[in-house]
Amino acid sequence: MVFVLKYRKNLISDEIFEAIKDILLGVSERYYLNFQAVGSEDNHFHLLIEAAPRYSPSQIMQICKSITAKQLFKRFPEIEEELWGGHFWSEGGHIDTVGDGYDVKKKMEEYILNQGGSKKQLRLYQFSSAVSDGESPAKKSA
Q: What is the pLDDT of residue 115?
A: 64
CATH number belonging to domain 2-139: 3.30.70.1290
Phi and psi, residue 38, nearest 5°: -135, 145
Q: Rounded distance, CA 99 to CA 139, Å? A: 30
Phi and psi, residue 78, nearest 5°: -65, -20
Q: What is the pLDDT of residue 48?
A: 87
For the residues 82-105, what does the mean pLDDT come to?
A: 77
Residue spans per domain, the chain:
2-139
Comparing 8-12, 126-130, 133-137, the range with the smallest average pLDDT is 133-137
The reply to whether the predicted model has a pTM over 0.85 is no
Q: Rounded distance, CA 57 to CA 8, Å? A: 23
